[in-house]
Amino acid sequence: MVEIIVISLAAGLATCFGALLVLMIGNPREKTLSVLFGLAAGIMLAVIVLDLLPSALEQGTIRQTAAGFSIGIIVMMMLDLILSQVYTPKTNGSNKIAYFRKMGYLVGAGIALHDLPEGIAIAAGFSAQQHLGLVIAVAIGLHNIPEGMATATPLKMGKVPDLKILLLNIILSLFTPAGAFIGLLILNLSPHQIALLLAVAAGAMTYIVKNELLPESRRKHPNYATLGGIIGFLFILVLGFIH
């Protein structure tokens, strides 16, 4: 259990790494972000198709897998809806600094809410196969790097002190191991729910890929996004052959 928490913490701390990149070298180039988001999308898609869903079907039934997959999508959809209702930032020409600060905190809140089911996905993966848990952790870690950048960039533009930005990202990184702990508790109380949790993780990650990573990666540089996606998918494919 301790090993899983530590690995999920490492995946969460990738958010801090992304933030540090912004604090040290400034805002990343759009092409770099396109490749990173595309890479994360390709890795997550490969994990979903090659690992999560097959493992869920192996551990449980088609009905259980379909139900879990639907639950994962619905949960992420509700989280996005709640965030959009809480605050929708609007540009204010006379107060750009406040606008960027609110945007950064909003992005951070979204990342925190998304990191909980990602932590649960890591726990479910380890419960099925150690290899699967490690692959999911790597995928989530790579996904968290551009998310850390996305949090730090508007906050830096909003003149928030670097130390405060870093502390915020450290707090955000704790939501991934918190999700893993919750997942482990669920599995300890009800071990036969592994298939359901794997499918929930697949649904949640599918929503993230379709509604966040792919649109953002392809927004300005679709070719770079495609390159990143292919590299990410092949990376997981090669890992599977090695394993």
Domain range spanning residue 143?
Answer: 2-242
Looking at residue 242, what is its pLDDT?
61
pLDDT for residue 101: 77
Number of domains in the chain: 1
Whose CA is closest to 104, among 149, 140, 143, 146? 149
Sign of CA dihedral 175, 179, 184, 185: positive
> What's the pTM value of the predicted model, to 2 decimals?
0.67
pLDDT tens, N- to C-terminus, the chain (243 residues): 788 999 999 999 999 998 898 888 776 677 877 887 787 788 778 878 887 788 888 888 899 899 999 998 898 788 777 766 654 555 555 467 776 777 677 667 767 766 777 788 888 888 877 778 888 888 788 778 877 877 787 788 778 899 999 999 999 899 999 989 988 888 887 767 778 888 887 888 788 788 877 887 787 788 888 998 898 888 778 866 765
